[in-house]
Structure 1
Amino acid sequence: MTQAPARHRTGRRQHDREIVSLAVPAFGSLVAEPLFLMADTAIVGHLGTAQLAGLGVASALLMTAVSVFVFLAYATTAAVARRVGAGDLQAAIRQGMDGIWLALLLGAAVVAVVIPTASGVVDLFGASDAAAPYATTYLRISALGIPAMLVVLAATGVLRGLQDTKTPLYVAIGGFVANGALNAGLVYGADLGIAGSAWGTVIAQWSMAVVYLVVVVRGARKHGASLRPDAAGIRASAQAGVPLLVRTLSLRAILMIATAVAARLGDADIAAHQIILSLWSLLAFALDAIAIAGQAIIGRYLGAGDAQGAREACRRMVEWGIAVGVVLGILVVIARPAFLPLFTSDSTVKDAALPALLIVALSQPISGIVFVLDGVLMGAGDGPYLAWAMLLTLAVFTPVALLVPVLGGGLTALWATMTLMMTVRMVTLWLRTRSGRWIVTGATR
């Protein structure tokens, strides 16, 4: 009678150890970009409200330009982890190299589009006359770092699939320190203003990419994996990432719509929205650290043919997601009065942000479930369902968000709409997980 509960407790402890060993280092690498953005926000925020509003518009566009290709990390993590579970390290790293070559090609294409169209895109996004020049300057310069960030995504996916989240942590720490020092020196020391912030971030991003490339190339040589670009492999990586691209484009569309609505509420609201979005992104990546562990663990279990282990790991990670979400929500409530002065001294911006921050805090347990289940299904290679689920979420969110300026409620109503969006995501992901259709074993899906 006591053997089954004892085995259950042992299994839980094993999953806890795996989750913690992967999630804690993953948190550091996941928050690299939000921390870059928060550092930029804190430094630029003290230049003035117009500069901060310009950063808000430009950073939303940049995050979109990079984040739509997050499949370079997520799809690579799942594919490499399955190969690891099946015991084929050479094939795992070769697949990762295809992802890195794809990242370089996509990065070059994005830069070629963003730089010449920056001014027009900023105007289309609804930036005010005061904020638009700053947004354009920041966008054009920072676009040069996009290829580096895509390489970082792909290389990070390789390492996560190999069950290594510590190396990305070390790189992220170095990149964050370099970014902060460069930004402060170029913005204030060299008196370059918002352009200095952009250049500092670009330099830090390329430095991170170089370090990642050195690590992955060494691993490839160790296991005899080819470093040469393979057209068929690159094409296969791109095809595997299409569903996740659709999923991510839908999510980024939601965030861009939210920012566009905030911009039409006024400069104070878009500035407050930028501050809140920076915090929301940091919290999201903190929760996503558990999801990253899930991608690596679920992929490995399924690659090894252990469907029951995958189910148990999924269940335990959901429990972790809820608990961490509750803790983060409490911390946001407690820290609200001290948090906002770090980014702005404008009382109007603070007044707009305070109630919206409370909504963000209350929604964190929902976010915990969403990010964990999202990671589980990514680890299982269930991209097509994730794509359709996010398209449904976009269809629900868009009309409600666009009504905010008409019906009133300001930034608080906008962030209530964001909570609705996360609730829809939670329902769609929970239904899929309960169905068990995501469980497909083997080295490939």
Structure 2
Amino acid sequence: MIRSPLTPSAVASPRRIATLALPALVVLAAEPLYVLVDTAVVGHLGRLPLAALAVAGTVMTLIAWLGTVLAYGITGRAARRFGSGDRAAAVAEGVQASWLALGVGVLVALAMQLGAGPLVEALAGPGEVADAAGRWLRVAALGAPGLLLAAAGNGWLRGVQNTRRPLWFVLGPNLLSALLCPLLVYPVGWGLTGSAVANVVAQTISGGLFVAALVSERVALRPRPGVIRQQLVLSRDLLVRGVAFQASFLSATAVAARFGAAAVGAHQIAVQLWFFTALVLDALAIAAQALIGAALGAGDDAGARALARRVALLGAGCGVAFAVLIAVGAGVVPGLFSSDEQVRDQAMVAWPWLVALQPVGGVVFALDGVLIGAGDVRYLRNLTIVAAFGGFLPAIWLSYAFDLGLGGIWAGLFLFVLLRLVALLLRLRSGGWAVVGAVR
């Protein structure tokens, strides 16, 4: 078997990390940017279509989140195979992940044909908004197989350390859809349905491109249930971890709403800025997943440890840079989102916490990528559950009980991230995550 040409110094090179992280960042940003375009186009149809898109889009965001879980799970497995010198086996992981993605995508598409109406009514209540949202969701859900196939494709290509092909496979269809959306909505006259069709076109083309990339590798394409079961276990742990995140942030929004419109508006501004910085740091985590998996697959635990330390330092550096920018923009940025003086005043309550979170979060996101790449997802799952249900959620509801306002909520978020930082650093120091071999 030919060994991978990775060495500890090459693996830990900042230039190599950037080569993987920057294209991944564009891929991560493509979908949110398209959603902004879609929202702007539909927004000119009126208040009702925009509200319908907001409700139905929330459901599609959850479907996209399933894809992210799948992509993260497959990256580490494929990277280990690649690091061991067996590229064909790494691609074979992508084949099985694609079968899994196709199966789940078809089930989602069929389920939405039957369940879209009751689901959006549960979110928005019965009425015109729910009716329009249901129509949009039934059409948009037809793109679920392509959406999840693209996620699986991103996963295995990252695993073989190729983040440039996913860049074109995602960016091209999204640009096409951004051009197609206004045409279908206005000149063609399909209205809100035109937006859904544009989504389906982009996701189906993107999924098809990733499938074509698999076929071009000339590996066996038959499904292997045993491997798919292993991937499901990995995805299950990441999914449970994600549910803990969702429960925490939904609770934070619910409590902020109980403090009044100004508080929840300010909370939304701060949270979206937090999510934006997380998006950038996720690109670094993706590079860490690919490189850590490859190093451990090659039997290079020393190189993996060196890379983990370097990635943590890079994450801290990016976090400090964000902290400085957010601190400097304190008097300007909230005003870009709202002209309401009370909203801006409430934003200043959360702002010091948002600044403080950046360096801590930078290290946490980076080390999340390290442990996902190492396949140590059970530890991440348990850690997130403990930090969420033992730190963040109690702090949120204590803030409500004692009327601590937005500051209490954001102190809870800081506690959540700080608990994860301490536990991740302890795990990093223990070395229990650095298990070598082609598959963990």
Give the alignment's TM-score, normalised by structure 1: 0.83
Contact 1:243 1:383 survives alignment (8 Å): yes
Distance 1:29 1:412 in 2: 34
Contact 1:298 1:313 survives alignment (8 Å): yes
Distance 1:170 1:353 in 2: 41
Report the equivalent of 1:30: 28
Report the equivalent of 1:4: none
Report the equivalent of 1:401: 396
- What displacement does 1:441 show? 0.6
User: Structure 1: which amino acid aligns with 2:197?
Assistant: W
Contact 1:31 1:282 survives alignment (8 Å): no
Distance 1:212 1:158 in 2: 10
The 5-angstrom pairing of residues 77-116 of structure 1 reads 77-116=75-114
- What displacement does 1:407 show? 5.0
Distance 1:381 1:13 in 2: 18
Contact 2:42 2:50 survives alignment (8 Å): yes
- What displacement does 1:406 show? 5.4
Say which SS state the counterpart of residue 70 (structure 1) adopts.
Answer: helix
Contact 1:60 1:259 survives alignment (8 Å): no
Distance 1:58 1:421 in 2: 30
- What displacement does 1:117 show? 3.3
Distance 1:169 1:264, change over 3 A: farther
Distance 1:14 1:378, change over 3 A: closer
Distance 1:417 1:298, change over 3 A: same
User: Structure 2: which amino acid aligns with 1:379?
Assistant: G
Distance 2:268 2:135 in 1: 17
Report the equivalent of 1:366: 360
- What displacement does 1:377 show? 0.3
- What displacement does 1:282 show? 3.2
Gaps in structure 1 of 5+ consecutive residues: 1-9
Percent of aligned pairs with the same amino acid: 39
User: Structure 2: which amino acid aligns with 1:363?
Assistant: L
Report the equivalent of 1:236: 230
Contact 1:81 1:92 survives alignment (8 Å): yes
Say which SS state the counterpart of residue 162 (structure 2) adopts.
Answer: coil
- What displacement does 1:287 show? 0.3
- What displacement does 1:351 show? 4.1
Report the equivalent of 1:300: 294
Gaps in structure 2 of 5+ consecutive residues: 1-7
- What displacement does 1:255 show? 3.5
Distance 2:124 2:400 in 1: 14
Distance 1:176 1:393 in 2: 36
Contact 1:262 1:273 survives alignment (8 Å): yes
The 5-angstrom pairing of residues 292-331 of structure 1 reads 292-331=286-325
The 5-angstrom pairing of residues 43-442 of structure 1 reads 43-44=41-42, 55-125=53-123, 136=134, 138-187=136-185, 194-219=192-217, 221=218, 225-261=219-255, 277-332=271-326, 347=340, 351=344, 354-355=347-348, 356=350, 359-396=353-390, 397-402=392-397, 408=403, 414-442=409-437
Distance 2:298 2:208 in 1: 33
User: Structure 1: which amino acid aligns with 2:418?
Assistant: T
Contact 1:49 1:267 survives alignment (8 Å): no
User: Structure 1: which amino acid aligns with 2:300?
Assistant: D
CA offset digits 1:352-379 (Å, max 9, x no partner): 8844566444422222111110000011
**Root-mean-square deviation over aligned CA pairs:** 3.6
Say which SS state the counterpart of residue 363 (structure 1) adopts.
Answer: helix
Contact 1:44 1:197 survives alignment (8 Å): yes
CA offset digits 1:268-296 (Å, max 9, x no partner): 87777666555443321210111111111
- What displacement does 1:85 show? 1.2
CA offset digits 1:192-211 (Å, max 9, x no partner): 66554443333222221111
Contact 1:127 1:263 survives alignment (8 Å): no
- What displacement does 1:103 show? 0.7
Contact 1:41 1:275 survives alignment (8 Å): no
Contact 1:126 1:264 survives alignment (8 Å): no
Contact 1:83 1:91 survives alignment (8 Å): yes
- What displacement does 1:37 show? 3.1
Distance 1:433 1:251 in 2: 22
- What displacement does 1:164 show? 0.3
Distance 1:260 1:49, change over 3 A: farther
- What displacement does 1:313 show? 0.5
Q: How many residues align?
A: 431
Distance 1:274 1:321, change over 3 A: same
User: Structure 1: which amino acid aligns with 2:75?
Assistant: T
Distance 2:223 2:27 in 1: 26
- What displacement does 1:112 show? 3.4
CA offset digits 1:235-288 (Å, max 9, x no partner): 232233322222223223333434555666777877776665554433212101
CA offset digits 1:178-237 (Å, max 9, x no partner): 343233444555566655444333322222111111122212x1xxx2012222332232
Give the alignment's TM-score, normalised by structure 2: 0.83
Distance 2:128 2:405 in 1: 21
Distance 1:365 1:47, change over 3 A: farther
Contact 2:11 2:295 survives alignment (8 Å): no
Distance 2:271 2:119 in 1: 20
